């Protein structure tokens, strides 16, 4: 079997580039990886002869696209990369592509290759959630895809032979939007269980600290977090916001909750391990995810987690944490109250979370993906 993996990202360079890196290590260990086509490369395990990259040009395109908040340059960069990757694509048994690679997928199908698309929540489901929430809070959302990008994503999902998604929640959204169940495979992500580990000494319960880690945006449930914290009106407790605060959410903060008590804005932390060791619970009530890696990291760090089903997390309800309804500030407040009220139960949940996440290493992620490839042939 020969597999080719294509992603418009820097392989091993953080974010989805890291996820892609761990993905290709599975077929690489088995001697099945023919090629990785990516915008640029940062890792050293996959040798240069197995890579096709745009190098500095690819990095420059991604940087410029990131700085353009309109999203138009990002759409342009995706089209350029897709056209180039379709030209350098070779014959293989399995072609695995991330989104915005319609030309590459069509070229793969023309080469009689089995095609796999990496997807998250179905784009129609995400669009509907974001439009509803933006109308509810009277704001915009930076996560809404352009009409062109949405059309490309739907075309890719329809044409691919198989869709891999990282969570059962994602699978349900695809089925609800008409994707045949036989096309879907759930492949959860992984976590570095050596880097993320329980603190030798848990923090005291004074003050009680809950942390949100990630881009603090409408999509992540930010207004509901702030509303819940406002309702609790606690003294002697802290809510840590660890990550970039989306501009539209920042306006909501100024508009609705100028007197919030105990909210600490920590900013983006490239290494959040210390954060996990200083708080009592991770709060991540997202409205729509693939499978949020911060939940894996927190669980590996021995923290209980408060999530929605929409976060795509591996949390077992009332065992590793709390799984609550999305878009519900009262549910968030009640979950936080129960965590604060019972430190012993909270610590037990953290231990359960660590034990449950331990098998989900990045190596096991690559192996699970390899198993999917082999099952298709």
Q: pLDDT band for position 59 (50/70/90)?
A: confident
Cβ-based burial of 31 (10 A; exposed 0-12, middle 13-18, buried ≥19): exposed
> Distance (Å, rounded) from C-alpha 66 to C-alpha 73?
8
- pLDDT at 200 (0 to 100): 79
Mean pLDDT of 334-341: 97
CA distances from 344 to 85, 315, 321 (A): 53, 18, 13
Q: Which residues contact 122 (CB under 8 A, 6 or more apart)?
A: 157, 170, 173, 174, 176, 177, 179
DSSP-based three-state secondary structure for 376: coil
> Distance (Å, rounded) from C-alpha 361 to C-alpha 190?
5
DSSP bridge partners of 209: 238
Asked if pLDDT for residue 71 goes beyond 70, the answer is: no
Do the beta carbons of residue 2 and residue 59 sit within 8 Å? Answer: no
DSSP symbols for 252-320: HHHHH-TT-SSEEE----S-THHHHTT-SEEEE--SS-S--HHHHHHHHTT--EEEEGGG---PPBTTT
Half-sphere exposure of 101 (CA within 13 A, CB side): 31
> CA 93 from chain center: how many Å?
28
Domains and CATH numbers, the chain: 3-190+361-375 (3.40.50.2000), 208-357 (3.40.50.2000)
Do the beta carbons of residue 301 and residue 275 sit within 8 Å? Answer: no
> Distance (Å, rounded) from C-alpha 323 to C-alpha 309?
6
State the virtual CA torsion across 160, 157, 70, 215 in degrees, nearest 10: -100
pLDDT tens for 161-209 read 999 999 999 999 999 999 999 999 999 999 999 999 998 776 566 799 9
Mean pLDDT of 98-122: 95
Q: Which residues contact 213 (CB under 8 A, 6 or more apart)?
A: 242, 243, 269, 272, 275, 282, 284, 294, 297, 298
Average model confidence (pLDDT) across the chain? 93
- pLDDT at 205 (0 to 100): 64
Computed on alpha carbons and rounded to an integer, the radius of gyration of the chain in Å comes to 21
Name the nearest CA neighbour of 291 among 313, 272, 261: 313
Q: Which residues contact 196 (CB under 8 A, 6 or more apart)?
A: 273, 276, 296, 297, 298, 300, 301
- pLDDT at 57 (0 to 100): 85
- pLDDT at 93 (0 to 100): 97
Q: pLDDT band for position 225 (50/70/90)?
A: very high
DSSP bridge partners of 95: 4, 115
Do the beta carbons of residue 160 and residue 146 sit within 8 Å? Answer: no
- pLDDT at 148 (0 to 100): 85
Polymer length in residues for the chain: 377
Give percent of the chain with pLDDT exceeding 90. 82
DSSP 139: -
Other C-beta atoms within 10 Å of 123: how many?
22
Candidate from 108-112, 294-298, 315-319, 333-337 with smallest mean pLDDT: 108-112
Asked if pLDDT for residue 286 goes beyond 60, the answer is: yes
Candidate from 159-168, 226-235, 355-364 with smallest mean pLDDT: 226-235
DSSP symbols for 314-364: -PPBTTTEEEE-SS-HHHHHHHHHHHHH-HHHHHHHHHHHHHHHTT-BHHH
């Amino acid at each position: 079997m020969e597999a080719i993996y294509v992603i418009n990202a820097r392989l091993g360079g953080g974010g989805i580039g890291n996820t892609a890196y761990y993905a290709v290590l599975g077929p690489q260990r088995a001697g099945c990886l023919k090629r990785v086509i990516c915008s640029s490369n940062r890792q050293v395990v996959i040798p240069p002869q197995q890579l096709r990259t745009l190098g500095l040009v690819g990095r420059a395109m991604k940087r410029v696209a990131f700085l353009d908040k309109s999203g138009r340059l990002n759409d342009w960069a995706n089209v350029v990369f897709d056209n180039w990757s379709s030209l350098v694509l070779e014959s293989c048994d399995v072609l695995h592509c991330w989104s915005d690679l319609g030309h590459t997928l069509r070229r793969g199908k023309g080469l009689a290759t089995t095609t796999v698309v990496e997807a998250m929540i179905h784009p129609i489901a995400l669009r509907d959630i974001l439009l509803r929430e933006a109308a509810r809070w009277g704001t915009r959302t930076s996560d809404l895809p352009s009409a062109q990008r949405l059309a490309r994503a739907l075309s890719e999902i329809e044409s691919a032979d198989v869709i891999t998604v990282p969570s059962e929640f994602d699978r349900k959204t695809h089925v609800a939007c008409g994707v045949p169940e036989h096309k879907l495979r759930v492949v959860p992500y992984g976590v570095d269980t050596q880097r993320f580990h329980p603190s030798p000494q848990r923090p005291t319960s004074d003050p009680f600290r809950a942390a949100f880690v990630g881009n603090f945006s409408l999509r992540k449930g930010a207004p509901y977090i702030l509303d819940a914290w406002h309702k609790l009106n606690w003294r002697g407790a802290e809510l840590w916001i660890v990550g970039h605060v989306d501009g539209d959410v920042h306006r909501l903060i100024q508009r609705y909750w100028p007197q919030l008590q105990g909210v600490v804005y920590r900013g983006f932390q490239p290494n959040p391990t210390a954060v996990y060791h200083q708080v009592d619970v991770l709060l991540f009530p997202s409205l729509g995810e693939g499978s949020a890696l911060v939940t894996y990291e927190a669980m590996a760090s021995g923290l209980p987690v408060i999530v929605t089903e929409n976060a795509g997390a591996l949390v077992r309800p009332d065992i590793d944490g709390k799984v609550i309804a999305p878009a519900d500030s009262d549910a968030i407040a009640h979950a936080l109250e129960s965590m604060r009220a019972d430190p012993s139960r909270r610590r037990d949940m953290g231990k359960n979370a660590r034990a449950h996440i331990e098998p989900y290493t990045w190596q096991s992620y690559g192996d699970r993906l390899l198993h999917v490839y082999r099952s298709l042939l």
